Amino acid sequence: GAGVSQSPRYKVAKRGQDVALRCDPISGHVSLFWYQQALGQGPEFLTYFQNEAQLDKSGLPSDRFFAERPEGSVSTLKIQRTQQEDSAVYLCASSVLAGGLVETQYFGPGTRLLVL
């Protein structure tokens, strides 16, 4: 399909383990966003890329969270030394252009992370 894809869909990690979550945006989309959605809550912004440049990482909760998009397409969100509070659904979204109020963000199905 032509939508945003994410892998893995589910990830169980032991506390202290490192994890890597992948996002494949819609081809040609300039902007890419990561959001974290805790159980029963709305998504919360983590970070934003315009092509390969990470322009906003103000939402990353700690220095254990790291995101990259080296070639301006696929992005990886890495969480080091996972903690139980990291358990959430991680959503990736992309949009066509670099900005604009009306730009629609298209979301992937998310990666559900459970840290034991």
Partner 1 sequence: AQKITQTQPGMFVQEKEAVTLDCTYDTSDQSYGLFWYKQPSSGEMIFLIYQGSYDEQNATEGRYSLNFQKARKSANLVISASQLGDSAMYFCAMRERMDSSYKLIFGSGTRLLVRP
Segment (H or E) for 29:
none
Nearest CB to partner 1, comparing residues 45 and 66: 45
Supply 60's token pair: 């990353």
Beta partners for residue 90, in sequence order? 36, 111
Residue count of the chain: 116
Determine the Cα–Cα distance for residues 36 and 49; give it in Å rounded to an integer. 16
Beta partners for residue 44, in sequence order? 36
Nearest CB to partner 1, comparing residues 67 and 80: 67
Which of 12, 99, 114, 116 is the binder for partner 1 (CB under 8 A)? 99
Which of 12, 56, 61, 85 is the binder for partner 1 (CB under 8 A)? 56
Q: Give the interface segment with partner 1, choosing from 16-24, 52-60, 68-76, 80-88 (CB under 8 A).
A: 52-60
What are the residues binding partner 1 (CB under 8 A)? 31, 33, 35, 40-45, 48, 55-56, 59, 89, 91, 93, 99-110, 112
